[in-house]
């Protein structure tokens, strides 16, 4: 029987009750992103071809985030080094954020992360990132709709 190699990826989503331009800007703008997600700071705007540094108060140690593609109000594609079991891995992951306006004026935000190695360590680490992106979407919704930072004090 031939070994089956899996394309380890996942997708999470949420509806945010604001227009797509406002939601997109809350992700692309480092000041806003640092207010609800990158609690240790984001060094720059998410612009195509740039590398920015993201830091998290609950996961210390800033790391580079490469911005591969940006289509205003539609899509942001990022990549960075995978982390397995708290240690840097020798491969990169790709994150695609999609922003879609809905007929009722809300925005559907989808985040897909792919590229995990088909191994126990890759699978386990992907679960942690999936949890992180799910929390990011909830924090994004709370920030954009109500100005609330859900992550404040949540991990210290």
| pLDDT digit string (tens) for the chain, length 156 residues | 455 566 778 999 999 999 999 999 999 999 999 999 998 899 999 999 999 999 988 776 889 999 999 999 999 999 999 988 778 889 999 999 999 999 999 999 999 999 999 888 888 999 999 999 999 999 999 999 999 999 887 776
Other Cβ atoms within 10 Å of 118 Cβ, number = 12
Cα–Cα distances in Å, from 152 out to 1, 41, 55, 131?
50, 13, 14, 17
Residue numbers of the domain that contains 123: 8-25+68-146
Whether 33 is covered by a domain: the verdict is no
Tell me, yes or no, whether 152 lies in a domain. no
Residue 89 belongs to some domain of the structure: yes
* 113 domain-assigned: yes
H/E stretch holding 134:
helix 120-146
Within a domain: 154: no
Domain assignment present for residue 141? The answer is yes
Q: Is residue 57 part of a domain?
A: no
CB 66 within 8 A of CB 48: no
- For position 1, what pLDDT does the model report? 45
Q: How far apart are CA 53 and CA 43, in angstroms?
A: 5
Cα–chain center distance at 14: 13
Per the structure, how many domains does the chain have? 1
Indicate the SS3 state at residue 120.
helix
Identify the pLDDT of residue 86.
77
**How many angstroms separate the CA atoms of 27 and 143, rounded?**
11
Q: The CATH number of the domain where 12 resides is what?
A: 3.30.530.20
Nearest to 48, CA basis, from 30, 71, 29: 71
How many C-beta neighbours within 10 Å does residue 133 have?
Answer: 20
> From CA 52, how far away is CA 63, in angstroms rounded?
8
Residue 121 covered by a domain: yes
pLDDT of residue 3: 59
Q: Quick one: pLDDT at residue 67? A: 98
């Amino acid at each position: 029987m031939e070994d089956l190699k899996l394309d380890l990826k996942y997708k999470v989503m949420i509806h945010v009750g604001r227009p797509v331009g406002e939601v997109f800007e809350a992700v692309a703008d480092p000041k806003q992103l640092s207010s609800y997600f990158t609690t240790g700071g984001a060094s720059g705007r998410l612009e195509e071809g740039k590398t920015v540094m993201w830091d998290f108060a609950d996961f210390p140690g800033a790391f580079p985030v490469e911005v591969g593609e940006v289509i205003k109000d539609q899509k942001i594609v990022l990549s960075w080094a995978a982390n397995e079991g708290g240690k840097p891995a020798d491969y990169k992951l790709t994150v695609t954020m999609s922003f879609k306006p809905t007929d009722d004026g809300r925005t559907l935000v989808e985040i897909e992360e792919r590229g995990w190695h088909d191994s126990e360590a890759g699978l386990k680490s992907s679960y942690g990132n999936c949890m992180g992106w799910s929390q990011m979407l909830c924090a994004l919704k709370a920030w954009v709709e109500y100005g609330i930072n859900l992550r404040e004090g949540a991990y210290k």
